[in-house]
Amino acid sequence: MSGGDKKISRRGFLKASSTMAAGGLLLGSGAFASALKDDALPDVVFFNGKIVTLDSPESTVGGAAVKDGKILKVGGSDEMKKLAGGSTRLVDLGGKTAVPGLIDGHCHPMETIYLKDAWVDCRYPQTKSVKEALARIAEWAKKTPKGEWIYVACVSASENKFVEKRLPTKAELDAAAPDNPVLLANGAHQCVVNSLALKRVGIKKGMKRLPRGATVVLDKKGEPTGVLLDAMADIPTVPTLAELERCYTSGIQEFWNRNGFTSLLAITPAAALPVLQKVAASKMTPTIRYTTSIWTAANGKGMPENLSKFHMPKGVDPAWYRFGGIKVWIDGENDARTGYMCEPYIGHFDTDPPGGHGTLVTPQPQANRLAALANKASALCMLHCSGDKAATIGLNAYEQVVKSGRPKTNMRIEHFGMFQLTDAQLKRAKELKNKGLHVSVQPIWLLELVKADYENMGAMRASTGFQFRSMIDAGLEPTASTDMTGIYLGNINPFEAMYAMITRESDRGLFLPGQAISVTEALKMWTVWAAKSMGEADVKGSIEPGKYADMTVLSDDIFTIPKEKIKDVKAVKTIVGGKVVYEAK
C-alpha cells in the first residue's frame, strides 16, 4: 500500500474492477481504466493523501476517485491513479490529511457578511470600553447623512467584558449621534437604541412588547430605557437587495470556503429568501451547499401553515440549494442575561429584563404549534433554547409531536445544554434521540463565555454547561456549528472550536477537563453528525461512494500533532463536488 493507506474500506468498489472479463480472462487492476468507456472514467482522482473517510469502517485511505461530483471509489493512492483515463484530472494532495467537507450546522450567513462589512465595529477586545465604543460611533456619525440608521456591532456579554462592566446608555448614544437613529447590538439578542431610534420604531411610554417578539425594558416610570431584547424582527436592519445578492453570490461562500466549509445550514430570514431563491435559479455555479431554515419572527409570528413558499424554485438542484425547515426562538441568550432560566441571574444590570429570569419569547402553546407544523410538512424544526427553562419547553414541544403519532421528522434543539444542563434534561433528550431529536452546540463559546457564565449564574450552574462528553456518551451525537452572525468574526474558525472541545481550555482557564472529547469525535460533530441532524446523512458527512465529493484538506495532521496545536490548523484546500474551490496561497 502507498503512504497513508491503512484499513482500506472495500465498500462501493465497482464490480467491474474484479469481474469484468475480456476474452474469458479477468482484468487486473492495471487494465481496469482502459476497459472502461470514457463516460465511465472518473473526472478527477485525488491521490497521495491521508484521507480520513469517517464512513462506518472509519477507514484511512490514500486516494479517492470522483465522477459527476460524487465519490466513485476510495482506496490506495496507486490503485486510484490506475482508474484515471486521458481526460481524468489528477490532484496530488501532497501527503496532507483530508477529512469530509466540514458542515456548519447552524449559522446566519447573510447577517454575517452584512454585519462584517457595513456595521460600526465596536467588538471586544479591539474595543475595550464603553468610552472607546462611543468615540467610534461619534466618528462614524460624522460621515453618515442625518436621519440614516447607524448599526453598531459589539460581541455578546459586552456588559461583562467592557472595563466599565456595563453597556452604553440611551443618553450616551444620543450624545454620540444626535442626528441619527442608532442600534448597538450586544450580541444577537440584546441591543441598546437611542431616542431617535425609539421614535423611528414607534416605541412609547409603557410599551412592554413589540409585535414580533421583542421585549422593551422600561424604567420605574414606564419610560423605555433604550434596551430591547430579541428585536431581530422588530428593528429594520435588513440590507438592500443589492447587498443581499452580493452576499449570496460571493461573500458567503468565499468566507466559509476559506475556513474549510463545504455545506451550511443557513438560518434565513423569510424576507431575504426571495433573493436566495433568485440566485439559486440563476446559472451561477455555487461553491457551497445551502440548506435553509426559515424564520419569520423571533416568536414565529407570520409563519404560514403551508411551508411550500419556502421551497426552492422548480429546477433548482437540491445538491446545492434546498429548503430544510423552520426556526423559532423560545428565549434569548444567557450571555445577555436573557436566556429563560428556572433560577434568576446573579445581581442586577440595568439592561436586564423584568423579573431577572431572562426572556420568554415563545410560550409553550406556540412552541407546540410550530413543532407540529414543521412535522406535518416533513420539515426540520429548530427551537432556540438557551436557558434551562427554555430547554424544558423545547423538549415538551417535541414530546407532543412524538405522542401525536405522526411520521418521524428531525427535531432540533439549538444551543442545547450550552450554558447549563440538568441530568433530567439529558435523560429526556436521550429518550427522544431515536424518535428524531438532534441537538446543536457551539463549542467555540468555551473560549468566549465561560467567564461571563460564572459572573451571571454562579459556579454551580455555570459548571453544568458545555458537557459534550456527557452528550456523546448519552448517544446524542451533537452537531457543532459556528452560529456566525457577524458578532464574533473569529467564530468562523472550526479548528479553534475543536481545540476547545479536545483540551477544555476556556476564557477562564481549564474548564471541566472530564468533559474532553477525542479528535475523531470532534470531527464527527462537524461532519457525520451534522449531516444526520440536517436529514442529509445519505449524501454528505463522510467520504464514501455515492456521496458528494466534498473534502477539507488540512495544513497539519490533526490526529498526530500535540492537541495544543490544533487551534493553529488551517484549511489548505476546500473541495466541493470534486472541485477545488479554495486553495491557500
Question: How many CB atoms are located within 10 Å of the residue 253 CB?
Answer: 24
- For residue 39, pLDDT over 80 is answered with no
DSSP state of 397: H
* Nearest CA among 313, 416, 354 for reference residue 219: 354
- For residue 328, pLDDT over 70 is answered with yes
Mean pLDDT of 328-334: 96
DSSP state of 202: T
- DSSP string covering 97-149: EEEEPEEEEEE-HHHHHHHHHHSEE--TTTS-SHHHHHHHHHHHHHTS-TT--
Mean pLDDT of 236-247: 85
- For residue 455, pLDDT over 80 is answered with yes
Alpha carbons 335 and 466: distance in angstroms, whole number: 14
DSSP state of 562: -
Q: What is the structure's pLDDT at 509?
A: 98
Which residues does residue 583 pair with via DSSP β-bridges, in sequence order? 573
Q: What is the structure's pLDDT at 241?
A: 87
Mean pLDDT of 419-439: 97
φ/ψ (deg, to 5) at 426: -65, -40
Question: How many CB atoms are located within 10 Å of the residue 405 CB?
Answer: 6
Q: What is the structure's pLDDT at 13?
A: 33
- For residue 2, pLDDT over 90 is answered with no
- For residue 558, pLDDT over 90 is answered with yes
Q: Which residue has the cell 477562564?
A: 508
- For residue 551, pLDDT over 90 is answered with yes
Mean pLDDT of 501-517: 98
Q: What is the structure's pLDDT at 37?
A: 58
DSSP state of 64: E
Alpha carbons 577 and 286: distance in angstroms, whole number: 10
Q: Which residue has the higher pLDDT, 573 or 212?
A: 573
Query: Which residues neighbour 23 within 8 Å (Cβ) at sequence distance 6 or greater?
Result: none
Whether this prediction's pTM lies above 0.85 is answered by yes
Q: What is the structure's pLDDT at 36?
A: 52
Q: What is the structure's pLDDT at 32?
A: 43
Q: What is the 3-state secondary structure (H, E, C) of 144-184?
A: CCCCCCEEEEECCCHHHHCCCCCCCCHHHHHHHCCCCCEEE
Mean pLDDT of 429-434: 97
Residue pair 547/289 in contact by the 8 Å Cβ criterion: no
Q: Which residue has the higher pLDDT, 498 or 24?
A: 498
Q: What is the structure's pLDDT at 57?
A: 86
* DSSP H/E element including 525: helix 519-525
Q: What is the pLDDT of residues 303-317, one digit of tens each?
A: 999 999 999 999 999
Q: In the structure grid, which three cell numbers stand for residue 64, read together?
A: 479517492
Mean pLDDT of 28-44: 61
Give the dihedral of Cα atoms 274, 277, 282, 287; nearest 10 deg.
130
Domains of the chain and any CATH numbers? 16-95 (2.30.40.10), 104-108+239-576 (3.20.20.140), 127-229 (3.10.310.70)
Which residues does residue 97 pair with via DSSP β-bridges, in sequence order? 50
Q: Which residue has the higher pLDDT, 269 or 233?
A: 269
Q: What is the structure's pLDDT at 56?
A: 87
- Of all residues in the chain, the percent with pLDDT exceeding 70 is 93
**Least confident piece of the model among 78-87, 116-125, 557-566:** 116-125
Alpha carbons 159 and 417: distance in angstroms, whole number: 23
If DSSP codes are grouped into helix, strand and coil, which group holds residue 411? strand
Which residues does residue 331 pair with via DSSP β-bridges, in sequence order? 360
Q: In the structure grid, which three cell numbers stand for residue 4, read together?
A: 497513508
Please state whether the peptide bond connecting residue 125 to the residue before it is cis, i.e. omega within 30 degrees of 0. Answer: yes
**Least confident piece of the model among 28-42, 217-231, 465-479:** 28-42
Residue pair 58/11 in contact by the 8 Å Cβ criterion: no
- For residue 28, pLDDT over 60 is answered with no
- For residue 61, pLDDT over 90 is answered with yes
Alpha carbons 343 and 420: distance in angstroms, whole number: 11
Alpha carbons 510 and 520: distance in angstroms, whole number: 21
With bands split at pLDDT 50, 70 and 90, how would you rate the model's confidence at 139? Answer: very high
Q: In the structure grid, which three cell numbers stand for residue 132, read together?
A: 472607546
- For residue 11, pLDDT over 50 is answered with no
Mean pLDDT of 167-177: 97
Alpha carbons 334 and 317: distance in angstroms, whole number: 39
- Of all residues in the chain, the percent with pLDDT exceeding 90 is 86
Q: What is the structure's pLDDT at 33?
A: 45
10 burial class (0-12, 13-18, 19+ CB within 10 angstroms)? exposed
With bands split at pLDDT 50, 70 and 90, how would you rate the model's confidence at 29? Answer: very low
Q: What is the structure's pLDDT at 38?
A: 62
**Least confident piece of the model among 70-74, 234-238, 239-243:** 234-238
- For residue 20, pLDDT over 70 is answered with no
Mean pLDDT of 550-578: 98
Give the dihedral of Cα atoms 288, 329, 470, 55; nearest 10 deg.
-20
